[in-house]
Chains A and B, each alone.
Chain A
Amino acid sequence: MRHNGSYSASPRIGLIEWLPWLLGVAAFFYLPEYLSLGARILVYILYALSVDLVVGYAGIVTLGHSAFFGLGAYAAGILSAKVGVTDPMLQMLVAIASCALLGAATGALILRTRGLTLLMLTLAIAAILLEVANKATSITGGADGLSGITVAPIFGLFRFDLFGKTAYWMCLVVLFICWWITRRIIYSPFGASLVGIRENHVRMASIGSPVSMRLLTAYTLSAMLAGVAGALLTQTNQFVGLNVLSFESAGELLVMLILGGVGRIYGAFVGPIVYMIAQDQLAKQFPEYWSLGIGVLLVAIVLFARGGLLGIVDLVVAHAKRGKSAFAGKEAP
């Protein structure tokens, strides 16, 4: 049923897969007034991509990925505001390293469990980080958020400007690199074994796949990606708020992902784009109706369109093809 990411699919980058990047570049030139929204969307695409890797491909249902997103955001922010390290690359490296550490450490502990216990543990880890960020006000700024973040020019060349041009390019390039890596992972034998584990972990174990090691690797990789997204958010906003760690934002991210389609790389692209543009247009005017709409949408997708928007596109395309061939069949005799 899932076309993308299956081992038999061709790993070559198809023509249509260049479309998002073309759009990303075009948006820079044609929608200059929306660059800050654009950068935020790119960050959330990366975040959704990292969640898709664990939830969609490895089948680890987690509610706690905001822990890594938040850790990346705070690592970059604290480094700049409290330690005085303003180099964006260095901030990003530290964010990745800290997320890798946390991901490997917590993954090694919690991935042995399943079901409710796993759900609970991921939630508890995110809750701990939220609690720490909330209480350690001298380092994190607590509920007021962390401000006073300065980011030096990238490679000493590209200054972060007021209009968010540099930030947009930075997000686009970083997302491109991460997308390429994720895509390679997904289409590799390793990626295929993840899908196998998602479908039936007992069978994968019995054919000799090192299930827990695979899951841990995927979890850690995904944590690092989420950390990159967090650091990017800090660098584009030059501010970190507690909400990056909150359960609501983790839930919101899941909404974006399922809206696009889970377990198919580009669901992580479509979801945040649609969600955040709609949010930008609607949420401020009708905040109550906005979250009501999100809830109804989520329920409807789960009940009627499990594949999300891309799943619907698949259905329509399949239907059109079938319609055409039936038509051809009638004409043929």
Chain B
Amino acid sequence: MQELIASLVSVAFHGTAYGMILYVISVGLSVTMGLMGFANLAHGVFAMAGGYLLTTAMDSWGVPFPLALVISFVLVALGSVVLERLLYARLYSAGELAQVLFTIGLIFIATAVARLIYGTLQQPVHLPEYMKGQFSLLGRDFPTYRVFIILFGAALVSALWFGVERTRFGAMVRAAVDNRAMAQSVGIDTQMLFMATFALGSGLAGLGGALGAEIIAIQPSYPFEHLIYFLIVVAVGGLGSLRGPFVAALVIGIADTACKYWVPEFGAFLIYVATILLLLWRPAGLFGRQA
């Protein structure tokens, strides 16, 4: 009994930490897809870039961990704006196939560049001492870093929720997600809005990749390997919402950890089956608007 409870707590804890990472990475994808309907399969590239930036900043530039996180966020956000203006913006009115192919092309490029610069080995993360220990709660020990991830994720969710529900910018985003043409005609500059959201979403993906570098290994195949998880979070959660991907990310994080813990012989099989069943039941996801 003791053991069962211990493993339950452990799975819930590690699953929540993993879910938080998935959420931080995927939330931007959900909003940009909901806003512009752009099928951006290359979202994982931003997460990978964040991870590489974190390790480079800490190991080569000697930057402390918190500042390295900020650097990952800012640089990825800036880089994404350049990409958005130069490339993505040309394809907003193009068909889905063109967008899919274009973003697959970006993945190929990013994978090759990562391999050229860093080689094929996964990047080790050197966490600072204060993140390494264990944290005791109710007679159980939890790794401090995972506790930090969960708390950080929770704070970020609150901030995002506040930003979208309570600020003028958030109201504009919600209006544009609901009806872009109408939002544009009442004077909202949807192009600017999209650029800002895209930058924010990509920056968050970079931050998520950096935060999660210890959980999801940073290596060149990252954008291909984990794409399906990011997409599952978005598709299951529903496009254009904040709450949907949050619930979906937590459920998937915990379910995936549970599957790997108790039935490793099935791998991710059960997750995929559950995703298919759920999407067949609700094609627009848990919290998406049904067509």
Contacts and interface: CB of A to CB of B under 8 A. Distances in A.
Contact of B108 (A63, A119, A127, A294): A294
Nearest to A246: B224
A254 B101 contact: yes
5 contacts: A292-B109, A295-B106, A298-B104, A298-B105, A303-B90
Contact of B105 (A115, A131, A299, A306): A299
B57 to A, nearest CB: 23
Interface string B65-94: 000000000000000000000010011001
Contacts of B276: 109-110, 121, 124-125, 128
A115 B269 contact: no
Contacts of B266: 131, 135
Interface in A101-156: 109-110, 112-113, 115-117, 119-121, 123-125, 127-128, 131-132, 134-135
A291 B228 contact: no
A239 interface: no
A137 B98 CA distance: 37
A247 B228 CA distance: 10
Nearest 5 Cβ contacts at the A-B interface: A295-B108, A298-B105, A295-B109, A292-B112, A299-B105
Nearest to A117: B283
B273 to A, nearest CB: 7
Residue from A117, A248, A254 whose CB has the most chain B CB atoms within 10 Å: A117
Contacts of A61: 96-97, 100
Contacts of B91: 302-303
A119 B285 CA distance: 13
Interface in B240-291: 265-269, 272-273, 275-276, 279-280, 283-285
Given A124-B232, A292-B108, A292-B113, A131 B102 contact: no
A132 B100 contact: no
A282 interface: no
A48 interface: no
A49 interface: no
B39 A119 contact: yes
A109 B276 CA distance: 9
B231 interface: yes
Nearest to A291: B112
Contacts of B96: 61, 115, 119
Contact of B272 (A113, A117, A124): A124
A125 B273 CA distance: 8
Contacts of B280: 109-110, 113, 121
A110 B281 CA distance: 11
Nearest to A251: B104
Interface in A249-267: 251, 254-255, 258, 262
A11 B276 CA distance: 40
Nearest to A290: B112
A121 B232 CA distance: 9
Contacts of A288: 112, 115-116
Contacts of A63: 100
A55 interface: yes
Interface residues of B, number: 47
A117 B104 contact: no
B101 A135 contact: no
Contacts of A90: none
B232 to A, nearest CB: 7
A110 B37 CA distance: 20
A299 B108 CA distance: 10
Residue from B97, B232, B267, B279 whose CB has the most chain A CB atoms within 10 Å: B97
A113 B279 contact: yes
A296 interface: yes
Contacts of A255: 101, 104-105, 108
A213 interface: no
A117 to B, nearest CB: 5
A247 B100 CA distance: 13
Contacts of B102: 298-299, 302-303
A148 to B, nearest CB: 24
Contacts of B21: none
A295 B107 contact: yes
Contact of B279 (A120, A135, A247, A302): A120
Given A117-B283, A248-B224, A299-B105, A123 B97 contact: no
Contacts of B234: 116
A262 B91 CA distance: 17
Nearest to B291: A114
A131 B273 CA distance: 11
Nearest to B239: A116
B231 A120 contact: yes
B111 interface: yes
Contacts of B53: none
Contacts of B239: 116
A258 B100 CA distance: 11
Contact of A134 (B101, B228, B267, B285): B267
B260 to A, nearest CB: 12
Contact of A117 (B94, B98, B110, B235): B235
B80 to A, nearest CB: 16
Interface in B31-50: 33, 37, 39
B227 interface: yes
A289 interface: yes
A143 to B, nearest CB: 12
A297 interface: yes
